[in-house]
Structure 1
Amino acid sequence: MASTAGYGEAAKALAEQYESVTFTEVHREVLHLFPSRPSSVLDVGAGSGRDAAALAARGHRVVAAEPTPELLLLGRGIHADQEIEWVDDALPELPGLTGQRRHFDLILLTAVWMHLDERERTSAMGRLVSLLGSGGRVILSLRQGPVPAGRRMFPVSARETIGLARSHGLNVIHEAKREDPHGRPGVSWTYLGLQL
């Protein structure tokens, strides 16, 4: 099963769900980690573009990588008023962006990491580090809770993710837990801030 299984068919409903909460609500635990000056940002698994649009509105140069064609199309339409560079690219390798030899000050992964198996997570962490500029940061959220029907998700812990990050030269600068911003029963999140 592909890491994006179930997302294309449910794209419209998912986009509505994502857009029903604000960037500030979703990322309240890590808002202080986002750059205050205009920076180069990569939003991996950008979904409906909620986060990419909020960051673009704050003056950042944003690349939104979304591998599900239906979500990419919806995101482009919903946030057509924001300057966002949309690309069809996906972890673990992000081949399109890697081939362009680009570097980012911040890489954001919202509700993405649990879609990768252990081997893919190891490969993906190395790829993310290769895309970071000097002193760059990765902000990611780890989902805990039941897996929705038809989706591909794996259990992933903060401890494993921190160990993997450190083995690739990233320091942990923040760790926080919180309830699900959408109020789904049994779902919670861990937010990690990592810095090169």
Structure 2
Amino acid sequence: MLHLFPPAPAAVLDIGAGTGRDAAALAALGHPVVAAEPTPELRCLGKQLHAGSGIRWIDDALPALPSLGAERFDLVLLTAVWMHLAPAERPPAMRTLARLLAPGGRVVLSLRHGPVPPGRRMFDVPPNETVTLAATHHLRLLHRTAHPDLHARPGVHWTVLAFEPA
């Protein structure tokens, strides 16, 4: 996905940052990064693991991300996040993504497909549904790829989608 990312320094928002793996990699490339992670344990661990990286951690989540206010980003990254949103949460979440984009910015997201692990809240999200929803918020599809699961989990595969303002 790196070819979809703007050159540094670009304002980056990593939504659902987890422990900050992607946020730290982008910060190391010279990007100012905001990592939005609603799970306190993951956010705390991320802060410990990546202390001194310059990542700004926030306790926030889709669909609204209210703590970001009027901030705008050149890259909004959602790695394995979108499929955790219920169908009713996706339209307001897409509206939020469109609002957060700086002119010329990009949204890059990955969708997990396949069996849902026990105890997880996850939904099957067809890629075309996401493309159509993005278009209703004036975001055009820039890139689409599908690939197998890197961990070779049976029946699991991924789609990567990138959007930019239409």
What TM bracket, shorter-length normalisation?
A: over 0.9
**Per-residue Cα deviation, 1:48-105 (whole angstroms, up to 9, x for no partner):** 100000000000010000000000001111111311000000001111113xx10101
5 Å matches for 1:176-187? 176-187=145-156
Aligned residue for 2:29?
A: 58
Give the percent of matched residue pairs that are identical in Structure 1 and Structure 2. Answer: 61
Structure with more helix by fraction:
1
**Per-residue Cα deviation, 1:133-152 (whole angstroms, up to 9, x for no partner):** 11110000011011111111
In 2: Cα distance, 1:62 partner to 1:182 partner: 27
SS of 2:12's equivalent in the other structure is strand
Aligned residue for 1:90?
A: 61
1:135 to 104, 107, 122: 104
5 Å matches for 1:1-196? 30-98=1-69, 101-196=70-165
In 1: Cα distance, 2:111 partner to 2:157 partner: 8
* TM-score, length basis structure 2: 0.97
Gaps of 5+ in 2: none
Q: Amino acid of the residue matched to residue 154 of structure 2?
A: P
In 1: Cα distance, 2:31 partner to 2:19 partner: 18
SS of 1:74's equivalent in the other structure is helix
Give 1:183 shift: 2.4
**Per-residue Cα deviation, 1:161-183 (whole angstroms, up to 9, x for no partner):** 00000110001110000111222
**Number of corresponding residues:** 165
In 1: Cα distance, 2:98 partner to 2:67 partner: 16
Q: Amino acid of the residue matched to residue 97 of structure 1?
A: L
SS of 1:174's equivalent in the other structure is strand
Q: Amino acid of the residue matched to residue 18 of structure 2?
A: G
SS of 2:138's equivalent in the other structure is coil
SS of 1:119's equivalent in the other structure is coil
Q: Amino acid of the residue matched to residue 58 of structure 2?
A: V
In 2: Cα distance, 1:183 partner to 1:69 partner: 29
In 1: Cα distance, 2:157 partner to 2:63 partner: 24
Structure with more strand by fraction:
2
Q: Amino acid of the residue matched to residue 34 of structure 1?
A: F
In 2: Cα distance, 1:178 partner to 1:123 partner: 28
